[in-house]
Amino acid sequence: MHERVIGMETEYGFSSLCAGGKPYSRGKALALLMSIAWKRLCSLRGRGMKGLFLENGARVYVDIGDHLEYCTPECTDPWELVRQLLAGDRILAELAGVAVGQDPELASASFFKTNVDYSGARTTWGSHENYLHRASPLNLAAVLVPHLVSRVIYTGAGGFDVGSPGLVFSLSPRVHHLQGVISKESTGRRGIVHSKDESLSSDGYHRLHLICGESLSSHRAAWLKVATTALVVALVEAGIASERGGLKLRGPLGAMEVFSRDTACRERVPLAPGIELTAAQIQRHYLELAEGSLDSPFMPPWAEAICREWRRVLDALDEDPEGLSRTLDWRIKLSLYRDHARRRGFPPERVTAWNDIVAGLETARGKLGKARSGEDDPVPLVDLALSTRSPIRAEVKELDPLLRKAGLAWSELPSFLELRQELFELDMRFGQLGEEGIFQRLDEAGLLEHRVEGVRDIDRARREPPPTSRARLRGETIRRLRRQRKKAESYCDWRCVWDLKRKKRLDLSDPFATEERWSPMPDPDFTDEPPPDICSVRSLPAGLRDLLRVMRHRAFPRLRGRLGT
Protein backbone atom coordinates (compact mmCIF):
# COMPACT_ATOMS: atom_id res chain seq x y z
CA MET A 1 0.00 0.00 0.00
CA HIS A 2 1.23 3.42 -0.91
CA GLU A 3 1.44 6.30 1.53
CA ARG A 4 0.39 9.74 0.37
CA VAL A 5 1.48 13.10 1.74
CA ILE A 6 -1.25 15.69 2.27
CA GLY A 7 -1.40 19.00 4.05
CA MET A 8 -3.64 22.01 4.43
CA GLU A 9 -3.32 25.74 4.99
CA THR A 10 -6.11 27.69 6.66
CA GLU A 11 -6.36 31.46 6.26
CA TYR A 12 -8.48 32.81 9.08
CA GLY A 13 -10.75 35.80 9.19
CA PHE A 14 -9.75 38.05 12.10
CA SER A 15 -11.27 40.81 14.14
CA SER A 16 -9.71 42.96 16.86
CA LEU A 17 -11.72 45.53 18.79
CA CYS A 18 -11.18 48.03 21.55
CA ALA A 19 -13.63 48.45 24.39
CA GLY A 20 -16.76 50.13 23.02
CA GLY A 21 -16.43 48.30 19.73
CA LYS A 22 -13.99 50.60 17.98
CA PRO A 23 -11.48 48.80 15.77
CA TYR A 24 -8.08 47.96 17.18
CA SER A 25 -5.35 48.08 14.56
CA ARG A 26 -5.33 44.76 12.76
CA GLY A 27 -1.63 44.98 11.98
CA LYS A 28 -0.81 45.76 15.60
CA ALA A 29 -2.97 42.88 16.81
CA LEU A 30 -1.40 40.38 14.44
CA ALA A 31 2.10 41.53 15.37
CA LEU A 32 1.17 41.05 19.03
CA LEU A 33 -0.15 37.57 18.28
CA MET A 34 3.03 36.54 16.46
CA SER A 35 5.10 37.95 19.30
CA ILE A 36 3.09 35.90 21.79
CA ALA A 37 3.45 32.84 19.56
CA TRP A 38 7.24 33.27 19.52
CA LYS A 39 7.39 33.46 23.30
CA ARG A 40 4.86 30.75 24.16
CA LEU A 41 5.16 28.17 21.42
CA CYS A 42 8.15 25.93 21.01
CA SER A 43 9.22 27.09 17.57
CA LEU A 44 11.91 28.31 15.22
CA ARG A 45 11.76 31.26 12.89
CA GLY A 46 11.32 30.62 9.22
CA ARG A 47 14.39 31.01 7.05
CA GLY A 48 13.62 32.85 3.87
CA MET A 49 9.98 32.87 4.79
CA LYS A 50 7.84 34.65 7.34
CA GLY A 51 6.54 33.25 10.55
CA LEU A 52 7.34 30.32 12.78
CA PHE A 53 7.69 26.58 12.46
CA LEU A 54 6.26 24.80 15.48
CA GLU A 55 7.24 21.67 17.40
CA ASN A 56 4.34 19.80 15.79
CA GLY A 57 5.88 20.51 12.39
CA ALA A 58 3.31 23.14 11.42
CA ARG A 59 3.89 26.71 10.31
CA VAL A 60 2.05 29.86 11.35
CA TYR A 61 2.51 33.26 9.73
CA VAL A 62 0.70 36.37 8.54
CA ASP A 63 -0.17 35.96 4.87
CA ILE A 64 -1.47 38.27 2.16
CA GLY A 65 -4.31 40.49 3.25
CA ASP A 66 -3.26 40.24 6.89
CA HIS A 67 -4.75 36.80 7.30
CA LEU A 68 -3.03 34.68 9.87
CA GLU A 69 -2.42 31.33 8.23
CA TYR A 70 -1.88 27.99 9.89
CA CYS A 71 -0.20 25.36 7.71
CA THR A 72 -0.50 21.81 8.97
CA PRO A 73 2.53 19.58 8.98
CA GLU A 74 2.72 16.90 6.31
CA CYS A 75 0.31 14.07 7.08
CA THR A 76 -0.16 10.68 5.48
CA ASP A 77 -3.78 10.01 6.37
CA PRO A 78 -6.90 12.18 6.58
CA TRP A 79 -7.53 11.41 10.26
CA GLU A 80 -4.17 12.89 11.20
CA LEU A 81 -4.80 15.83 8.90
CA VAL A 82 -8.10 16.69 10.61
CA ARG A 83 -6.39 16.36 14.02
CA GLN A 84 -3.74 18.83 12.89
CA LEU A 85 -6.32 21.24 11.48
CA LEU A 86 -8.16 21.22 14.80
CA ALA A 87 -4.87 21.66 16.65
CA GLY A 88 -4.29 24.80 14.62
CA ASP A 89 -7.71 26.14 15.58
CA ARG A 90 -6.93 25.62 19.26
CA ILE A 91 -3.49 27.19 19.02
CA LEU A 92 -4.88 30.32 17.40
CA ALA A 93 -7.81 30.56 19.80
CA GLU A 94 -5.40 30.39 22.70
CA LEU A 95 -3.12 33.06 21.23
CA ALA A 96 -6.12 35.36 20.81
CA GLY A 97 -7.10 34.85 24.45
CA VAL A 98 -3.58 35.63 25.66
CA ALA A 99 -3.39 38.74 23.47
CA VAL A 100 -6.52 40.20 25.05
CA GLY A 101 -4.98 39.72 28.47
CA GLN A 102 -1.74 41.45 27.48
CA ASP A 103 -2.86 44.73 25.98
CA PRO A 104 -5.47 46.62 28.04
CA GLU A 105 -6.61 48.46 24.91
CA LEU A 106 -7.46 45.22 23.14
CA ALA A 107 -10.93 44.16 24.30
CA SER A 108 -11.50 41.30 21.88
CA ALA A 109 -9.55 39.31 19.32
CA SER A 110 -11.40 36.66 17.34
CA PHE A 111 -10.56 34.25 14.57
CA PHE A 112 -13.17 33.04 12.14
CA LYS A 113 -13.13 29.96 9.94
CA THR A 114 -15.11 31.74 7.31
CA ASN A 115 -14.40 32.23 3.65
CA VAL A 116 -16.12 35.37 2.41
CA ASP A 117 -16.61 38.88 3.72
CA TYR A 118 -20.08 40.19 4.56
CA SER A 119 -19.27 43.87 5.11
CA GLY A 120 -19.67 44.81 1.46
CA ALA A 121 -15.99 44.44 0.62
CA ARG A 122 -16.72 41.24 -1.40
CA THR A 123 -13.41 39.70 -0.50
CA THR A 124 -12.52 36.06 0.01
CA TRP A 125 -9.71 34.06 1.56
CA GLY A 126 -9.19 30.42 1.60
CA SER A 127 -8.46 26.94 2.75
CA HIS A 128 -5.70 25.49 0.65
CA GLU A 129 -5.04 21.82 0.07
CA ASN A 130 -1.73 20.20 -0.78
CA TYR A 131 -1.23 16.78 -2.34
CA LEU A 132 2.21 15.45 -3.17
CA HIS A 133 2.24 13.40 -6.36
CA ARG A 134 4.21 12.23 -9.37
CA ALA A 135 1.53 12.58 -12.03
CA SER A 136 1.67 14.92 -15.01
CA PRO A 137 0.36 18.23 -13.62
CA LEU A 138 -1.61 18.99 -16.80
CA ASN A 139 -3.25 15.58 -16.92
CA LEU A 140 -4.01 15.79 -13.19
CA ALA A 141 -5.67 19.17 -13.56
CA ALA A 142 -7.89 17.98 -16.41
CA VAL A 143 -9.08 14.92 -14.51
CA LEU A 144 -9.57 16.80 -11.26
CA VAL A 145 -11.80 19.59 -12.55
CA PRO A 146 -15.09 17.64 -12.62
CA HIS A 147 -14.32 16.21 -9.17
CA LEU A 148 -13.62 19.66 -7.70
CA VAL A 149 -16.69 21.13 -9.37
CA SER A 150 -19.04 18.44 -8.05
CA ARG A 151 -17.61 17.77 -4.59
CA VAL A 152 -19.22 20.99 -3.30
CA ILE A 153 -22.27 18.86 -2.44
CA TYR A 154 -20.35 17.60 0.59
CA THR A 155 -17.39 20.00 0.87
CA GLY A 156 -19.32 23.26 0.61
CA ALA A 157 -19.04 25.51 3.67
CA GLY A 158 -22.48 27.01 3.06
CA GLY A 159 -23.21 30.72 3.25
CA PHE A 160 -24.47 33.48 1.01
CA ASP A 161 -23.63 34.85 -2.39
CA VAL A 162 -22.65 38.43 -1.51
CA GLY A 163 -22.88 39.37 -5.17
CA SER A 164 -26.66 39.24 -4.80
CA PRO A 165 -28.46 42.21 -3.20
CA GLY A 166 -30.88 39.69 -1.70
CA LEU A 167 -30.47 36.51 0.25
CA VAL A 168 -29.17 33.74 -1.98
CA PHE A 169 -27.91 30.74 -0.07
CA SER A 170 -24.90 29.03 -1.61
CA LEU A 171 -23.49 25.60 -0.89
CA SER A 172 -20.06 27.11 -1.51
CA PRO A 173 -19.82 30.93 -1.28
CA ARG A 174 -16.19 30.99 -2.43
CA VAL A 175 -17.22 29.53 -5.79
CA HIS A 176 -18.71 32.89 -6.74
CA HIS A 177 -15.26 34.43 -6.43
CA LEU A 178 -13.58 32.02 -8.85
CA GLN A 179 -12.91 33.38 -12.29
CA GLY A 180 -11.11 30.69 -14.21
CA VAL A 181 -10.71 26.95 -14.59
CA ILE A 182 -6.92 26.73 -14.32
CA SER A 183 -5.00 29.75 -13.10
CA LYS A 184 -1.63 30.51 -11.62
CA GLU A 185 -3.07 33.50 -9.76
CA SER A 186 -4.18 33.24 -6.16
CA THR A 187 -5.47 36.70 -5.25
CA GLY A 188 -7.00 37.93 -8.45
CA ARG A 189 -8.25 35.62 -11.13
CA ARG A 190 -8.52 32.52 -8.99
CA GLY A 191 -9.08 29.22 -10.72
CA ILE A 192 -10.73 25.94 -9.85
CA VAL A 193 -7.25 24.44 -10.18
CA HIS A 194 -4.27 26.47 -9.07
CA SER A 195 -1.37 25.75 -11.37
CA LYS A 196 1.39 26.65 -8.89
CA ASP A 197 3.70 23.64 -8.60
CA GLU A 198 6.28 24.28 -5.91
CA SER A 199 7.07 20.85 -4.58
CA LEU A 200 9.08 21.92 -1.50
CA SER A 201 10.66 18.49 -1.63
CA SER A 202 13.13 16.38 -3.57
CA ASP A 203 13.11 16.04 -7.33
CA GLY A 204 10.45 13.97 -8.95
CA TYR A 205 7.62 15.20 -6.78
CA HIS A 206 4.96 17.71 -7.68
CA ARG A 207 2.73 19.47 -5.18
CA LEU A 208 -0.86 20.01 -6.20
CA HIS A 209 -1.97 23.19 -4.45
CA LEU A 210 -5.71 23.80 -4.54
CA ILE A 211 -7.28 27.08 -3.45
CA CYS A 212 -10.89 26.56 -4.56
CA GLY A 213 -11.94 24.91 -1.30
CA GLU A 214 -13.26 26.37 1.93
CA SER A 215 -12.56 26.17 5.63
CA LEU A 216 -15.00 23.74 7.20
CA SER A 217 -16.22 23.24 10.73
CA SER A 218 -17.60 19.71 10.32
CA HIS A 219 -14.84 17.19 10.97
CA ARG A 220 -16.52 14.72 8.64
CA ALA A 221 -16.76 17.18 5.77
CA ALA A 222 -13.11 18.23 6.14
CA TRP A 223 -12.04 14.59 6.34
CA LEU A 224 -14.01 13.61 3.25
CA LYS A 225 -12.85 16.63 1.26
CA VAL A 226 -9.18 15.85 1.56
CA ALA A 227 -9.52 12.06 1.51
CA THR A 228 -11.62 11.80 -1.65
CA THR A 229 -9.40 14.28 -3.47
CA ALA A 230 -6.28 12.38 -2.40
CA LEU A 231 -7.78 9.20 -3.86
CA VAL A 232 -8.50 10.94 -7.17
CA VAL A 233 -4.88 12.14 -7.24
CA ALA A 234 -3.75 8.55 -6.60
CA LEU A 235 -5.92 7.27 -9.45
CA VAL A 236 -4.43 9.78 -11.87
CA GLU A 237 -0.91 9.03 -10.74
CA ALA A 238 -1.51 5.33 -11.38
CA GLY A 239 -2.98 5.99 -14.82
CA ILE A 240 -6.39 4.63 -13.82
CA ALA A 241 -8.06 8.00 -14.28
CA SER A 242 -6.93 10.01 -17.27
CA GLU A 243 -8.09 12.89 -19.38
CA ARG A 244 -8.74 10.66 -22.36
CA GLY A 245 -11.21 8.31 -20.72
CA GLY A 246 -12.56 10.73 -18.17
CA LEU A 247 -15.39 13.16 -17.74
CA LYS A 248 -15.17 16.59 -19.28
CA LEU A 249 -17.54 19.39 -18.32
CA ARG A 250 -18.58 21.77 -21.05
CA GLY A 251 -18.48 24.77 -18.77
CA PRO A 252 -16.78 23.97 -15.45
CA LEU A 253 -17.22 27.38 -13.84
CA GLY A 254 -20.86 27.55 -14.82
CA ALA A 255 -21.41 24.00 -13.58
CA MET A 256 -19.85 24.88 -10.24
CA GLU A 257 -22.20 27.86 -9.94
CA VAL A 258 -25.19 25.64 -10.76
CA PHE A 259 -24.24 23.04 -8.16
CA SER A 260 -23.53 25.73 -5.55
CA ARG A 261 -27.02 27.15 -5.87
CA ASP A 262 -28.82 23.82 -5.90
CA THR A 263 -29.81 22.93 -2.33
CA ALA A 264 -31.78 19.91 -3.60
CA CYS A 265 -28.68 18.53 -5.37
CA ARG A 266 -30.75 17.60 -8.39
CA GLU A 267 -29.50 19.93 -11.11
CA ARG A 268 -27.70 18.46 -14.12
CA VAL A 269 -24.90 20.03 -16.09
CA PRO A 270 -23.77 19.26 -19.63
CA LEU A 271 -20.73 17.14 -20.40
CA ALA A 272 -20.55 15.69 -23.89
CA PRO A 273 -23.50 16.44 -26.21
CA GLY A 274 -26.57 14.66 -24.95
CA ILE A 275 -25.03 13.82 -21.61
CA GLU A 276 -26.00 15.67 -18.47
CA LEU A 277 -25.12 14.56 -14.97
CA THR A 278 -25.86 15.65 -11.43
CA ALA A 279 -23.05 16.42 -9.01
CA ALA A 280 -23.61 13.10 -7.23
CA GLN A 281 -23.42 11.19 -10.51
CA ILE A 282 -20.10 12.85 -11.34
CA GLN A 283 -18.85 11.98 -7.87
CA ARG A 284 -19.93 8.33 -8.32
CA HIS A 285 -17.73 8.13 -11.41
CA TYR A 286 -14.68 8.80 -9.25
CA LEU A 287 -15.94 6.70 -6.37
CA GLU A 288 -16.40 3.68 -8.63
CA LEU A 289 -12.90 4.08 -10.03
CA ALA A 290 -11.56 4.15 -6.49
CA GLU A 291 -13.63 1.16 -5.38
CA GLY A 292 -12.40 -0.77 -8.40
CA SER A 293 -8.79 -0.17 -7.35
CA LEU A 294 -9.00 -0.84 -3.63
CA ASP A 295 -6.76 -3.92 -3.85
CA SER A 296 -4.15 -2.14 -5.93
CA PRO A 297 -0.78 -1.37 -4.35
CA PHE A 298 -0.92 2.31 -5.25
CA MET A 299 -3.94 2.91 -3.05
CA PRO A 300 -3.34 4.12 0.51
CA PRO A 301 -4.31 1.73 3.32
CA TRP A 302 -7.25 3.93 4.36
CA ALA A 303 -8.92 3.98 0.94
CA GLU A 304 -11.59 1.40 1.74
CA ALA A 305 -12.87 3.26 4.79
CA ILE A 306 -13.08 6.49 2.80
CA CYS A 307 -14.93 4.85 -0.09
CA ARG A 308 -17.48 3.42 2.35
CA GLU A 309 -18.26 6.84 3.80
CA TRP A 310 -18.07 8.54 0.40
CA ARG A 311 -20.78 6.15 -0.87
CA ARG A 312 -22.88 6.59 2.26
CA VAL A 313 -22.88 10.37 1.94
CA LEU A 314 -23.69 10.30 -1.79
CA ASP A 315 -26.55 7.87 -1.13
CA ALA A 316 -27.86 10.14 1.61
CA LEU A 317 -27.68 13.20 -0.65
CA ASP A 318 -29.71 11.31 -3.25
CA GLU A 319 -32.28 9.68 -0.96
CA ASP A 320 -32.48 11.64 2.27
CA PRO A 321 -30.49 14.89 2.18
CA GLU A 322 -32.17 16.13 5.34
CA GLY A 323 -30.44 13.26 7.10
CA LEU A 324 -27.18 15.17 6.68
CA SER A 325 -28.54 18.30 8.35
CA ARG A 326 -26.39 17.62 11.40
CA THR A 327 -23.28 16.52 9.50
CA LEU A 328 -22.23 18.68 6.56
CA ASP A 329 -21.49 22.39 7.00
CA TRP A 330 -23.83 23.63 4.28
CA ARG A 331 -26.70 21.36 5.33
CA ILE A 332 -26.37 22.40 8.98
CA LYS A 333 -26.45 26.06 7.97
CA LEU A 334 -29.32 25.67 5.50
CA SER A 335 -31.47 24.13 8.19
CA LEU A 336 -30.56 26.76 10.82
CA TYR A 337 -30.85 29.75 8.51
CA ARG A 338 -34.18 28.69 7.00
CA ASP A 339 -35.56 28.13 10.47
CA HIS A 340 -34.33 31.56 11.59
CA ALA A 341 -35.78 33.26 8.51
CA ARG A 342 -39.14 31.56 9.09
CA ARG A 343 -39.23 32.80 12.67
CA ARG A 344 -38.63 36.29 11.33
CA GLY A 345 -41.61 35.91 9.01
CA PHE A 346 -39.72 34.96 5.86
CA PRO A 347 -40.28 31.39 4.71
CA PRO A 348 -38.28 30.32 1.63
CA GLU A 349 -40.87 31.39 -0.92
CA ARG A 350 -41.07 34.86 0.64
CA VAL A 351 -37.30 35.19 0.57
CA THR A 352 -37.31 34.25 -3.12
CA ALA A 353 -39.97 36.84 -3.85
CA TRP A 354 -38.04 39.57 -2.03
CA ASN A 355 -34.88 38.58 -3.86
CA ASP A 356 -36.62 39.40 -7.15
CA ILE A 357 -37.79 42.75 -5.81
CA VAL A 358 -34.42 43.87 -4.44
CA ALA A 359 -32.75 42.70 -7.65
CA GLY A 360 -35.07 45.07 -9.48
CA LEU A 361 -34.19 47.90 -7.08
CA GLU A 362 -30.48 47.22 -7.50
CA THR A 363 -30.79 47.28 -11.28
CA ALA A 364 -32.56 50.61 -11.07
CA ARG A 365 -29.87 51.97 -8.74
CA GLY A 366 -27.19 50.81 -11.15
CA LYS A 367 -28.72 52.87 -13.95
CA LEU A 368 -28.52 56.05 -11.90
CA GLY A 369 -24.83 56.43 -12.41
CA LYS A 370 -22.11 56.89 -9.85
CA ALA A 371 -22.93 60.42 -8.79
CA ARG A 372 -26.60 59.85 -8.05
CA SER A 373 -26.35 56.34 -6.59
CA GLY A 374 -23.41 57.27 -4.38
CA GLU A 375 -20.88 54.65 -5.40
CA ASP A 376 -18.49 55.32 -2.52
CA ASP A 377 -21.30 55.46 0.01
CA PRO A 378 -24.31 53.90 -1.70
CA VAL A 379 -27.74 55.21 -0.87
CA PRO A 380 -29.45 52.49 1.17
CA LEU A 381 -31.91 50.38 -0.76
CA VAL A 382 -34.56 51.13 1.83
CA ASP A 383 -34.31 54.87 1.15
CA LEU A 384 -34.33 54.31 -2.60
CA ALA A 385 -37.48 52.24 -2.32
CA LEU A 386 -39.49 54.09 0.31
CA SER A 387 -38.57 57.74 0.03
CA THR A 388 -41.01 59.96 -1.84
CA ARG A 389 -37.98 61.80 -3.21
CA SER A 390 -36.30 58.64 -4.46
CA PRO A 391 -34.53 59.10 -7.82
CA ILE A 392 -35.92 55.71 -8.84
CA ARG A 393 -39.53 56.41 -7.91
CA ALA A 394 -40.77 55.37 -11.33
CA GLU A 395 -38.92 52.07 -11.23
CA VAL A 396 -40.26 51.38 -7.74
CA LYS A 397 -43.82 51.85 -9.04
CA GLU A 398 -43.05 49.39 -11.83
CA LEU A 399 -42.23 46.81 -9.19
CA ASP A 400 -45.58 47.27 -7.42
CA PRO A 401 -47.42 44.58 -9.44
CA LEU A 402 -44.68 42.05 -8.72
CA LEU A 403 -44.85 42.97 -5.06
CA ARG A 404 -48.63 42.59 -4.87
CA LYS A 405 -48.60 39.32 -6.78
CA ALA A 406 -46.22 37.85 -4.21
CA GLY A 407 -48.32 39.15 -1.35
CA LEU A 408 -45.60 41.50 -0.15
CA ALA A 409 -45.64 45.10 1.05
CA TRP A 410 -42.94 47.78 0.81
CA SER A 411 -43.18 48.22 4.55
CA GLU A 412 -41.60 44.77 4.96
CA LEU A 413 -38.45 45.72 3.06
CA PRO A 414 -36.56 47.01 6.13
CA SER A 415 -37.26 43.71 7.93
CA PHE A 416 -36.03 41.71 4.94
CA LEU A 417 -32.80 43.70 4.74
CA GLU A 418 -32.36 43.37 8.49
CA LEU A 419 -32.78 39.60 8.17
CA ARG A 420 -30.07 39.65 5.51
CA GLN A 421 -27.66 41.34 7.88
CA GLU A 422 -28.60 38.94 10.70
CA LEU A 423 -27.90 35.91 8.55
CA PHE A 424 -24.57 37.38 7.47
CA GLU A 425 -23.66 37.86 11.12
CA LEU A 426 -24.73 34.30 11.95
CA ASP A 427 -22.64 32.93 9.10
CA MET A 428 -19.60 34.82 10.35
CA ARG A 429 -20.15 33.61 13.92
CA PHE A 430 -20.77 30.04 12.78
CA GLY A 431 -17.05 29.54 12.19
CA GLN A 432 -15.80 31.66 15.07
CA LEU A 433 -13.07 29.91 17.05
CA GLY A 434 -13.61 29.44 20.74
CA GLU A 435 -16.63 28.96 22.96
CA GLU A 436 -18.65 31.76 21.34
CA GLY A 437 -18.64 30.14 17.93
CA ILE A 438 -22.04 28.84 16.85
CA PHE A 439 -20.73 25.55 15.48
CA GLN A 440 -18.86 24.84 18.68
CA ARG A 441 -21.90 25.67 20.79
CA LEU A 442 -24.13 23.41 18.70
CA ASP A 443 -21.56 20.64 18.96
CA GLU A 444 -21.19 20.95 22.72
CA ALA A 445 -24.99 20.84 23.07
CA GLY A 446 -25.00 17.47 21.30
CA LEU A 447 -26.93 18.80 18.31
CA LEU A 448 -24.53 17.66 15.61
CA GLU A 449 -23.30 14.37 14.14
CA HIS A 450 -20.08 15.27 12.41
CA ARG A 451 -17.24 13.69 14.34
CA VAL A 452 -14.97 11.10 12.83
CA GLU A 453 -13.99 8.06 14.83
CA GLY A 454 -10.23 8.10 15.21
CA VAL A 455 -9.85 11.88 15.27
CA ARG A 456 -8.88 12.42 18.89
CA ASP A 457 -6.11 13.76 21.16
CA ILE A 458 -6.25 17.21 19.61
CA ASP A 459 -4.24 18.79 22.39
CA ARG A 460 -1.43 16.34 21.82
CA ALA A 461 -1.45 17.26 18.13
CA ARG A 462 -0.62 20.84 19.19
CA ARG A 463 2.75 19.63 20.40
CA GLU A 464 3.43 16.40 18.53
CA PRO A 465 4.06 16.08 14.81
CA PRO A 466 2.52 13.34 12.69
CA PRO A 467 4.59 10.18 13.13
CA THR A 468 4.88 9.13 9.49
CA SER A 469 6.34 12.00 7.45
CA ARG A 470 9.35 14.31 7.55
CA ALA A 471 7.27 16.48 9.88
CA ARG A 472 8.26 14.17 12.71
CA LEU A 473 11.95 14.94 12.24
CA ARG A 474 11.24 18.65 11.84
CA GLY A 475 9.15 18.80 14.99
CA GLU A 476 11.56 16.78 17.13
CA THR A 477 14.51 18.84 15.92
CA ILE A 478 12.73 22.12 16.60
CA ARG A 479 11.96 20.97 20.14
CA ARG A 480 15.52 19.88 20.78
CA LEU A 481 17.15 22.98 19.29
CA ARG A 482 14.78 25.37 21.01
CA ARG A 483 15.68 23.86 24.35
CA GLN A 484 19.39 23.75 23.69
CA ARG A 485 20.07 26.90 21.78
CA LYS A 486 19.56 30.59 21.90
CA LYS A 487 16.63 31.40 19.71
CA ALA A 488 18.59 33.16 16.99
CA GLU A 489 20.85 30.22 16.36
CA SER A 490 18.47 27.99 14.43
CA TYR A 491 16.04 28.45 11.57
CA CYS A 492 13.66 26.30 9.62
CA ASP A 493 11.78 25.91 6.40
CA TRP A 494 9.83 23.04 4.86
CA ARG A 495 12.96 21.32 3.50
CA CYS A 496 15.62 22.10 6.06
CA VAL A 497 16.50 22.96 9.61
CA TRP A 498 19.59 25.13 10.06
CA ASP A 499 21.69 24.94 13.21
CA LEU A 500 23.86 28.02 12.90
CA LYS A 501 25.86 27.26 16.02
CA ARG A 502 27.09 23.91 14.72
CA LYS A 503 27.02 25.23 11.14
CA LYS A 504 25.00 22.21 10.07
CA ARG A 505 21.72 21.69 8.35
CA LEU A 506 19.18 18.88 8.48
CA ASP A 507 18.00 17.84 5.04
CA LEU A 508 14.24 17.22 4.94
CA SER A 509 13.80 17.27 1.17
CA ASP A 510 12.53 13.67 1.27
CA PRO A 511 8.89 14.00 2.37
CA PHE A 512 9.05 10.51 3.89
CA ALA A 513 12.39 11.01 5.68
CA THR A 514 12.69 8.92 8.84
CA GLU A 515 16.31 9.49 9.88
CA GLU A 516 18.14 12.70 10.61
CA ARG A 517 20.78 13.47 7.99
CA TRP A 518 22.89 16.44 8.99
CA SER A 519 25.47 17.95 6.69
CA PRO A 520 27.82 20.92 6.92
CA MET A 521 26.12 24.17 6.13
CA PRO A 522 27.63 26.00 3.14
CA ASP A 523 28.78 29.54 3.73
CA PRO A 524 25.72 31.75 3.49
CA ASP A 525 25.26 33.11 -0.01
CA PHE A 526 23.75 36.46 -0.64
CA THR A 527 20.46 35.38 -2.06
CA ASP A 528 17.17 37.04 -2.64
CA GLU A 529 15.78 35.61 0.57
CA PRO A 530 14.46 38.32 2.86
CA PRO A 531 15.48 38.43 6.52
CA PRO A 532 13.08 36.58 8.82
CA ASP A 533 9.94 38.39 9.96
CA ILE A 534 10.33 41.37 7.69
CA CYS A 535 7.32 41.02 5.52
CA SER A 536 7.69 43.56 2.74
CA VAL A 537 11.34 43.42 1.68
CA ARG A 538 10.47 42.60 -1.90
CA SER A 539 8.80 45.95 -2.22
CA LEU A 540 11.95 47.85 -1.21
CA PRO A 541 14.41 49.41 -3.66
CA ALA A 542 17.18 47.06 -4.81
CA GLY A 543 19.96 48.96 -3.02
CA LEU A 544 18.12 48.73 0.31
CA ARG A 545 17.42 45.03 -0.22
CA ASP A 546 21.19 44.47 -0.72
CA LEU A 547 21.92 46.36 2.50
CA LEU A 548 19.39 44.22 4.37
CA ARG A 549 20.99 41.05 3.04
CA VAL A 550 24.37 42.16 4.40
CA MET A 551 22.83 43.07 7.73
CA ARG A 552 21.03 39.75 7.89
CA HIS A 553 24.14 37.68 7.49
CA ARG A 554 26.48 39.85 9.53
CA ALA A 555 24.82 42.29 11.87
CA PHE A 556 21.50 40.59 12.71
CA PRO A 557 22.94 37.43 14.27
CA ARG A 558 25.22 39.55 16.48
CA LEU A 559 22.37 41.89 17.35
CA ARG A 560 20.04 39.08 18.18
CA GLY A 561 22.70 37.48 20.30
CA ARG A 562 23.01 40.65 22.33
CA LEU A 563 19.26 41.00 22.70
CA GLY A 564 18.91 37.36 23.67
CA THR A 565 16.29 36.68 21.00
- Nearest alpha carbon to residue 207 among 519, 497, 457, 509: 509
CB of 381 to another protein, least distance (A): 12
- Please tell me whether residue 19 binds another protein under the rule CB under 8 A: no
Among candidate residues 63, 262, 443, 499, the one labeled active-site is: 63
Pick between residue 319 and residue 528 the one whose CB is nearest to another protein. 319
- The CA-to-CA distance between both ends of the chain, in Å, stands at 45
Tell me which residues in 69-98 interact with another protein (CB under 8 A): 69
- Please tell me whether residue 368 binds another protein under the rule CB under 8 A: no
Candidates 37-45, 63-71, 279-287, 452-460: pick the segment binding another protein (CB under 8 A).
63-71
- Please tell me whether residue 112 binds another protein under the rule CB under 8 A: yes
Interface pattern 291-320 for another protein (x via CB under 8 A)? ----------------------------xx
- For 274: left if phi > 0, alpha if psi spans -120 to 50, otherwise beta; the answer is left
Quick one: which of 428, 452, 473, 500 contacts another protein (CB under 8 A)? 428
Quick one: which of 117, 356, 510, 533 contacts another protein (CB under 8 A)? 117
Indicate if the alpha-carbon torsion angle 15, 16, 22, 24 is positive or negative: negative
C-alpha 99/C-alpha 24 separation (Å) is 12
- Please tell me whether residue 343 binds another protein under the rule CB under 8 A: yes
Q: Report the b/e string of 274-285 with b at 16+ CB within 10 A.
A: eeebbbbbbbbb
Quick one: which of 5, 211, 236, 317 contacts another protein (CB under 8 A)? 211
Beta-strand ranges (E) seen in 378-514 are: 490-492, 496-499, 504-507
Pick between residue 124 and residue 170 the one whose CB is nearest to another protein. 124
9 Cβ contact partners less than 8 Å away, ≥ 6 residues apart = 69, 70, 71, 72, 127, 128, 130
Pick between residue 14 and residue 491 the one whose CB is nearest to another protein. 14
For residue 63, indicate whether it is catalytic: yes
CB 448 within 8 A of CB 332: yes
- Please tell me whether residue 50 binds another protein under the rule CB under 8 A: no
- Please tell me whether residue 144 binds another protein under the rule CB under 8 A: no
- Please tell me whether residue 5 binds another protein under the rule CB under 8 A: no
C-alpha 52/C-alpha 384 separation (Å) is 50
Beta-strand ranges (E) seen in 180-236 are: 180-183, 191-194, 206-210
- Please tell me whether residue 191 binds another protein under the rule CB under 8 A: no
- Please tell me whether residue 217 binds another protein under the rule CB under 8 A: no
Pick between residue 64 and residue 555 the one whose CB is nearest to another protein. 64
Candidates 13-21, 147-155, 402-410, 510-518: pick the segment binding another protein (CB under 8 A).
13-21
Sheet containing 43-46: order of strands: 206-210, 127-133, 6-11, 67-71, 59-63, 52-54, 43-46, 490-492, 496-499, 504-507, 518-520
C-alpha 98/C-alpha 420 separation (Å) is 34
Torsion of CA 158, 164, 167, 169, to 10 degrees: -20
Interface pattern 500-519 for another protein (x via CB under 8 A)? --------------------
- Please tell me whether residue 131 binds another protein under the rule CB under 8 A: no
Q: Which positions are annotated as active-site residues?
A: 63
Contacts to another protein by CB under 8 A? 11, 13-15, 17, 21, 23, 63-67, 69, 112, 117-121, 123-126, 128, 186-187, 211, 319-320, 322-323, 325, 336, 339-340, 343, 418, 421-422, 424-426, 428-429, 436, 438, 441-442, 445, 447
